[in-house]
């Protein structure tokens, strides 16, 4: 039975393997420089804490973890019913796809509680944010769902392929 630091390393490794770390820059006090990636927009402020957000899809312990990047320590564990498949962070919340239940969940980063749940296509995995929307790739039906951030509702479902949608990117004001 794994305990303590060994389990934390396993959780972090699983999160990295799932390509789901999103680093946020804090907004209170002195400003930290935004991540330097040429196609990445400036990092958003979420609850005034510089954080990395990680999902764990372990069937026995599905959760969303918040890591304080200043201390490299877990600052929150949010239990997740279902199977998290992807994660994206905006000033409005932490957005996590639930592959098992065909939905997108918005977590309030201040309270660490689920603030909204939106039904999307079948088998949602990748999720990105852009143009005032959250975009979800639905792996089991070849569609992309566009969700309005303000209303937490699907505004469009776009058929893009007859096979799985396993990755999305928002760049140059477009979803790729």
CA torsion sign for 23, 29, 32, 38 is positive
CA angle, 93 then 50 then 16, to 5°: 80
In which residue are the tokens 């804090």 written? 26
Residue tagged 């312990």 (tokens): 61
Coil/strand/helix, residue 2: coil
The radius of gyration of the chain's CA atoms, rounded to the nearest angstrom, is 16
Residues whose CB falls within 8 Å of the CB of residue 32, separated by 6 or more in sequence, listed in order = 25, 26, 50
Cβ contact 56:84 at 8 Å: yes
Round to whole Å and give the CA distance between 84 and 95. Answer: 10
Question: CA-to-CA distance for 47 and 94, rounded, in angstroms?
Answer: 11
Contact 114, 94 (CB under 8 A): no
Q: Largest alpha-carbon pair distance within the chain?
A: 49
Residue 35 tokens read as: 């991540």
- From first to last of its 176 residues, the chain has per-residue pLDDT tens of 444 445 444 433 333 333 333 333 333 333 333 333 222 222 333 444 588 999 988 777 899 999 999 999 999 999 998 999 999 999 899 999 999 999 999 999 999 999 999 999 999 999 999 999 999 999 999 999 999 999 999 999 999 987 888 888 888 887 88
Residue whose token pair is 């019913």: 81
| pLDDT of the residue at 1 | 42
């Amino acid at each position: 039975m794994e305990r303590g630091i060994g389990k934390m390393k396993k959780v972090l490794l699983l999160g990295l393997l799932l390509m789901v770390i999103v680093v946020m820059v804090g907004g209170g006090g002195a400003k930290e420089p935004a991540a330097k990636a040429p196609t990445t927009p400036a990092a958003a402020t979420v609850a005034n804490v510089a954080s990395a957000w990680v999902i764990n899809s372990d069937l026995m312990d599905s959760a969303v973890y918040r890591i304080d990047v200043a201390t490299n320590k877990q600052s929150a564990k949010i239990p997740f019913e279902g199977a998290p498949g992807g994660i994206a962070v905006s000033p409005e919340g932490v957005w996590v796809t639930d592959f098992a239940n065909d939905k997108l969940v918005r977590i309030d980063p201040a309270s660490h509680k689920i603030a909204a749940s939106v039904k999307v296509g079948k088998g949602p995995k990748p999720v990105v944010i852009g143009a005032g929307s959250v975009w979800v790739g639905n792996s089991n039906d070849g569609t992309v769902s566009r969700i309005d951030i303000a209303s937490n509702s699907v505004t469009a479902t776009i058929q893009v392929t007859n096979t799985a949608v396993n990755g999305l990117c928002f760049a140059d004001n477009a979803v790729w």
